[in-house]
Every structure is written in structure tokens, then in C-alpha cells.
Amino acid sequence: MLSYQFDWSVVTTGKYFEWLVSGLGLTLQLSAAGIVLSFLLGLLIAVLRMSHFSPLRWFAHVYLEFFRNTPLLVQIFFWYFGSYKLLPMAVNEWLNSTNFEFAAALIALTIYTSAFIAEDIRSGVLSIPKEQMEAARSAGFSYIRSMQYIILPQAVRITVPPLINQFLNLAKNSSLAMTIGVMELTYQARQVESYTFKGFEAFTAATLVYLVLSVVITALMDQYNNRVLNPQRG
Amino acid sequence: MKKLVAMLMMTAAVSIAAKSFAAAPADTLAEVKKKGVLVAGVKDSLPPFGYVDEKTRTIIGYDIDFINAIAKKLGVKVELKPVTSASRMPQLQEGNIDIIAATMTKNPERAKQIDFSHTYFFTGQKFITRKGAVKSVKDLEGKKVGTAKGSTSEQNVKKAIPSATVLSFDDYPQAFLALQQGKVQAVTTDEAILAGILAKAPNKGQFEIPNVQISDEPYGLGMRKGDKNFVDFVNKTILEMEKSGEAKKIFDKWFGPKTDFHLQRNFKIVAGK
């Protein structure tokens, strides 16, 4: 009774394997789209946060504190269920006819992660001596152009290692999308468990896949960091 | 270690004994008449089938009314023993109880271990939908259907409507919220649970449970295997209850229009089912 019969064929062949693969597909889509969007949004928020125009600065500040300090799960529920009360009915009906589960999960992941990324980028920018900005401005660059050509390219190089952490978190946090019915990897692992009672195999397989995904993201970012951004450090 | 081995052997011996019914009386009908009491295993926290009444502190419910009727026919008293879904079959086989009346679905695996009476309650997996939206399973093809994770409900709906997208939420209230917001077109599980959700819903007037069923859950009274006299007696009694209208009266008392459940009685107690 106590001994557990392992049956790895459950997760390596047949329809349960297909479920896990389709789950992985959604996890990859969520992660890839989330990484790109949250990086762009985080960059924007970081720039706003350092703006000399105080309303923009304050907006960015509130945004950061709000989205950094509330649980991601609550944010997912907010975008999925809470948005219903705020939007006009016509918009709701249109959203419900689409794949709104995926969109709500992606919005939540993007916004949540962008707050952390913005702070990482800001700390990178602050580590660039302020004389560089002064030099750029006195050479005739506008604030935006100084940021674009002088400050950000250096700051992003410094920021890459902490960014890797945020991207890894995003990939793993994407599993929370299962709570609103997005059939990503963790959801499918749970499905396999409830159909086959082979929970150990299903979750081991999912764990390995997340591990491989994380290692791949780290390796890609390291490559980019060493080869492209900092070839001299190699 | 010796103790452990001895304990294991004892456990094995007990379970073998239970399987061969050595401890249980062979003719329950005669035995119950002799001792003057019918011992029934019932649920004690599952309204309205079997639950503790707040005022009298006794167990009441649909299942208990059936036991009372059988005991009355026998001319004996009733003793109720709370059981769980896991404990009810061993309790019966070991002779601790004479009959199971605990929302037990009849299925072939169980019928190998015990004998069932005719079906005395019939339910099944249904849907909550917006009023008038769904008339048959066809209306849900290609639609989104909400349920709770890991339940058999999820598997049944995938089998019955393969083209539907099943969205599994953490619990039924969340699935119902998704229905209210139009994110799913139906919420599905056992009808008794659905009726409970609907009874508590704030705007229940907009929703209904259409008569669309995708799986059968026939409940039977459980008795020891091969206990023919007793099984025949119970079957005869509940058939008489059907004929006299008492069975319907009990159904209406617990599930009818005056209750929170508003269920239609879509079954009759008949021989051979």
C-alpha cells in the first residue's frame, strides 16, 4: 500500500504528454511576450521616475509602489474579474468573446514585473556619474537624447544581471495564470494528476521543464551580456 | 519490530475476516428483528441528505427519513451512526452497521463488494446558465464552461461536450462569478451542489439549472453482499413508499419548492434500477 508505483510513461508518451507540451507552449508565449513588454514598460517607467517634470515623477512613483507592493495573484484577479466593473458593457462583451484569460494574465505579469525592472534600471542609471549627463546637456543634447544615447546604453549594461532575475521570476510567475483558467504548464500538470493520479510524475516533469526554461533564459542573457554588451569583460 | 509484525498480521486477519463477513450476521433481517434496533450508517454534515439539526441536536435528512420508514415497517427502533465516504463500506462489512444510507452512488466496482437497493435518489451533473440560454447540450458546443479544479465534473464535461472550452477555477463561487460576468456560459457540477450555489446567489433570478444532464448519479442503500432477505425487504419497502406517495413526500420535504433547492423530482423508485 505504501509503496508508490512510478510510471513515467504517463508523462513521456500519449495524450498526457501532449497536454504538457501544449501547456509548455502557453508558458513560453506568456514568458516571451511578458519579458519583451515588461522590459519596454519598465524602461518607460524608469525614465518617468527620473523626469524633471514632477507630475510624471509622482505618477511613476505611485505606479511603482502600488504594483511592487501588492500580490501578483491579487493583480491577476483584478485584471480578470475586477476590470469588469470598470469597463463599459460593450467592451466587456468583446473581451469575453476573445481569449481574455491569456490577455489578463499577460497584462498582470507585464505590469507587475515592469515595476521591478524600472527600479533595477533606475539604480543602473543612478550608478552612472551625473557629470556624464551634465556633459551631454552642455554638448547640446536634449534630456531625452542624453538618456537615449549616453546614459541608458551604459545603464542597461550594468542592469543586465538583475534583469535576468526579473525575467526568471516572470517565467515562473506565469504559473499563477492557471488560477483564471489559462492552460499553461502547471495547469496541465494538475490536469494530468487529476486524470491519472500520477501527480508525482506530472509535477516532476513540470519542474524539470521550468528548470530547463530558466537555465536557457539565464544562458541567453549571459551570452548577450558577455558577447554584445561587455565584450571587454568576456 | 515483533509488535509491528503482530499488528500487521492482526490487521490482515481483520481485513480478511471483514471480506469473508465472518463477523457480520448472515441474515440481517432476522438479526435486526431479534435485537429490536436497525443500525444505519448516515452522513451527518451533508444537508439535506443527513445533517445535525441545530435545535434538537439529532441527525435528520432525506436519507434518515428512508431509514425511519424501513424501521417502522420492521417494527424496530433506529440507531444512527455517522459515517464518512471512506468508512461506510468497511463499517458495513464488519457488521458495525446494518445498512448504509449515505448519498452512496451505485457503481459496478462498489457492487462487487456490497449489494445495493433500488435507486432511492437520482441526481447527476448539470449546469447553471443564464435563464433561457441553454436548452440542450448542443447549446454549449464551442462555448466556455466553468468548473472547479480536479473534480470529476471537469472530466465529464470534456467527454460530453468535446468542443467546449473548460475553464477550471479554484472553487465554485469563483466559477459562478465568471458566469455572472459572462466569462463562461455555464458552470457545471452535481445538481445538488449547483442548487446550493444558486440558492445563495444574490441575483439568482437571472440564472437557472436547465434540465440538461451529462452524467448519472444514482444513489442506493447499501447492504452486505448476499444478504438476500434483507435486500428484498428493503426493496419491497421503498417500492411501497413510491406507490403510496411517501417517497415523493420525503423528496418534496427536503428538495421541493418550499426549500432552498427547488429541485424537480425527475425519477421514480422502480424495481431493477
CATH code: domain of residue A130: 1.10.3720.10
- Number of structural domains found in chain A: 1
User: Per the domain annotation, does A127 fall within a domain?
Assistant: yes
d(CA B236, CA B246): 14
Q: What is the pLDDT of residue B258?
A: 87
**Lowest mean pLDDT: which of A151-155, B64-68, B239-243?**
A151-155
Cβ of B187 under 8 Å from any chain A Cβ?
Answer: no
Cβ of A134 under 8 Å from any chain B Cβ?
Answer: no
Output the CATH code of domain B125-215.
Answer: 3.40.190.10
Mark yes or no for CB contact B177/A81 under 8 Å.
yes
Pick the CATH number of B25-123+216-255 from 1.10.10.60, 3.40.190.10, 3.30.360.10, 3.40.50.1980: 3.40.190.10
Contacts of B155 in chain A (CB under 8 A): 194-195
User: Per the domain annotation, does A3 fall within a domain?
Assistant: no
Cβ of B162 under 8 Å from any chain A Cβ?
Answer: no
Mark yes or no for CB contact A187/B181 under 8 Å.
no
Mark yes or no for CB contact A84/B149 under 8 Å.
no
Distance from CA of B238 to the nearest CA of A (A): 37
For residue B185, which amino acid is it? Answer: Q
Q: What is the pLDDT of residue A2?
A: 46
pLDDT tens string A201-214: 899 999 999 999 99
User: Per the domain annotation, does A20 fall within a domain?
Assistant: yes
Decide: A182 and A26 in contact? Cβ < 8 Å: yes
Report chain A's mean pLDDT, rounded to a whole number: 90
Residues facing residue B114 across a β-bridge? B224
Cβ of B178 under 8 Å from any chain A Cβ?
Answer: yes
Q: How far is CA B125 from each of CA B48, B156, B193, B218, rounded to the nearest angstrom?
A: 18, 8, 9, 11
User: Per the domain annotation, does A5 fall within a domain?
Assistant: no
d(CA B218, CA A202): 33
Secondary structure element (H or E) that encloses residue B5, with its range: helix B2-19
Q: Is the pLDDT of residue B113 over 90?
A: no
d(CA A67, CA A56): 17
Radius of gyration of chain B (CA): 21
Mark yes or no for CB contact B183/A187 under 8 Å.
no
The whole domain housing A191 covers 10-229
CB nearest to B150's CB, from A81, A93, A194: A194
Q: Is the pLDDT of residue B21 over 50?
A: no
User: Per the domain annotation, does A2 fall within a domain?
Assistant: no
d(CA A126, CA A132): 11
CB nearest to A181's CB, from B167, B181, B182: B167
Q: What is the pLDDT of residue B19?
A: 46
Contacts of B182 in chain A (CB under 8 A): 92-93, 96
pLDDT tens string A20-59: 999 999 999 999 999 999 999 999 999 899 888 999 999 9
Cβ of B169 under 8 Å from any chain A Cβ?
Answer: yes
Complex-level ipTM: 0.75
pLDDT tens string A63-122: 999 999 999 999 999 999 999 888 888 888 888 888 899 999 999 999 999 999 999 999
Residue boundaries of the structural domains of chain B: 25-123+216-255, 125-215
User: Per the domain annotation, does A4 fall within a domain?
Assistant: no
Task: Name the residue with higher pLDDT: B197 or B118.
Answer: B118
User: Per the domain annotation, does A195 fall within a domain?
Assistant: yes
Cβ of A22 under 8 Å from any chain B Cβ?
Answer: no
Q: What is the pLDDT of residue A157?
A: 85
DSSP assignment letter at A147: I
Residue A156 burial (C-beta neighbours within 10 Å; 0-12, 13-18, 19+): middle
Q: What count of CB pairs under 8 Å joins A to B? A: 34
Same topology, domains B25-123+216-255 and B125-215? Answer is yes
